[in-house]
């Protein structure tokens, strides 16, 4: 899978598709916050993302407190956003 940084045009197109995600770090990353009923549900979600991340060898930066999970995706090898982040975001969205 390409790890080239998306062009600005590609990025804009993808951001329209990934409605729930916002650009962060001056366009170098995307982020989304998830809220669940409690920690048990949040952790269940995180466990699914963890397995997915390990399989893809593409890992999120994420923060959790109780029922809240904040995920940031970026591709260090690309120095910004790549298709790997877009595909990961789409896969994460399918979990919820």
Residues that bind its own copies (CB under 8 A): 39-40, 43, 47, 50, 53-54, 59-66
| Contact status, residue 53 vs residue 17, Cβ threshold 8 Å | no
* Separation CA 23–CA 46 (nearest Å): 21
With a CB cutoff of 8 Å and minimum separation 6, the contacts of 24 are 30, 31, 72
Nearest approach in angstroms of CB 11 to its own copies is: 22
Nearest approach in angstroms of CB 84 to its own copies is: 14
Burial of 58 per CB tally in 10 Å (0-12, 13-18, 19+):
buried
Nearest approach in angstroms of CB 83 to its own copies is: 20
| 4 vs 70, beta carbon nearer its own copies | 70
| Contact status, residue 74 vs residue 26, Cβ threshold 8 Å | no
| 17 vs 79, beta carbon nearer its own copies | 79
| 62 vs 83, beta carbon nearer its own copies | 62
| 35 vs 63, beta carbon nearer its own copies | 63
């Amino acid at each position: 899978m390409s790890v080239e940084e998306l062009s600005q045009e590609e990025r804009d197109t993808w951001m329209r598709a990934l409605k729930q995600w916002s650009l962060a770090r001056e366009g170098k990353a995307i982020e989304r916050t998830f809220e669940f009923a409690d920690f048990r549900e949040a952790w269940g979600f995180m466990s699914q993302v963890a397995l997915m991340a390990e399989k893809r060898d593409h890992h999120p930066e994420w923060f959790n407190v109780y029922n809240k999970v904040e995920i940031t995706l970026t591709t260090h090898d690309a120095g910004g956003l790549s298709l790997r982040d877009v595909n990961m975001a789409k896969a994460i969205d399918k979990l919820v």
